[in-house]
Amino acid sequence: MGTMLRDMYQYYLGQPACMKRILNERKTLFSAFGRFFADRKPARIYLIGSGSSLNACRAAQAFMEYVLGIEVTVGAPSNPPTIRAERPMILAVSQGGKSTNTVAYLNAQRDKSYPVVAFTAELDVPVAKAADLAVDIGVGIETVGPKTQGYTGTVLALYLCALEGALQAGIIGETRYDCEIALLDETIGYGEENIARCGAFYKKHMQSLKQARRYLFVGKGCAGAVGDEDALKVLETLCYPGSGYEFEEYLHGPACCTDEGTALFLFYSDDADGSRMRKLADITSKATPNCFIIDKTDSVSGGDVLNLKASDSKYASPFCDIFPGQLISALLTQELRRERHPAVREIFSDMETKVKATSPAVPEKG
């Protein structure tokens, strides 16, 4: 996995530049979606994706509801939500555009009148061809399986499409639009510094992290959703158990697994639960040396606290809190020389998780 992990690390480092480019090119990339949304006036949006794309949908859900003022439902294509809205719109998200589950789901919608939008990194792919509108998320091709730019870029694309749609539909005005863009720009602008802070934090705690055999990422709201993606990165690379949890749900059972092999990352919440998170960290540190708080509010300090910088938007988490889990996955896996079992490659070669080039083309919608 050496080459893959080295490439993953380079993609990881390139995320601030990638996000800045997407933000700057938002009108070119996403204005067509804004017009499509304003024309169709959906009463509810259904976000569909697998893997990192599904996690990106979960992370974007709250912001999209906040901006658009309609309900946004997230589901996997293999177990999709029931569509009940009078005017639904389906957003199918697949960076590579070849997910067999997503293609199968879109094929099953062909006899329905629901408008479908595809979010992919290429437009000449099955998922894009099966949609009424294809949106380039702007991240380009990421050649490794564990995605980094694909995740942050997809979340950002969904945020920006929500803003473009809301603006063109008259849901928000120019002032609100400009304010939200400024908040995103501020957080993305801290990207290089945040990555540097993550690097220093990793070097400080690397020897201790070598002993961890279980990785848990716990937060509230948007940050809780980010924890799902951090856990997926650990599973894909370190091949140790990893899970993401909403803060209160973590206390209702999963905390029981705490021992010296646990690595717990708490995304600090600057609200009434902040003091409870600090208390949980104090208690957990009695069982494991790997208990950390990730804070972007300047409210917490200490040797086991990673302070990141962000705007004061409560929706900033996907563009900064995601970095520590990604970095650990790329670098600690190399340090420990972790390798996947040889049989694992058969899962991807034999289980047909991606549409093969030789497979029949998906009929274009329209």
Domains of the chain listed by start with CATH number: 2-189 (3.40.50.10490), 192-344 (3.40.50.10490)
Q: Beta partners for 242?
A: 215
Q: Give pTM, 2 decimals.
A: 0.94
Burial of 108 (0-12, 13-18, 19+ CB in 10 A): exposed
As a whole number, mean pLDDT of residues 150-178 equals 98
Whether the predicted pLDDT of 152 surpasses 90 = yes
| pLDDT, tens digit (0-9, with 9 covering 90-100), for 305-361 | 999 999 999 999 999 999 999 999 999 999 999 988 888 877 766 766 777 754 444
| pLDDT, tens digit (0-9, with 9 covering 90-100), for 217-263 | 999 999 999 999 999 999 999 999 999 999 999 999 999 999 999 99
Whether the predicted pLDDT of 366 surpasses 70 = no
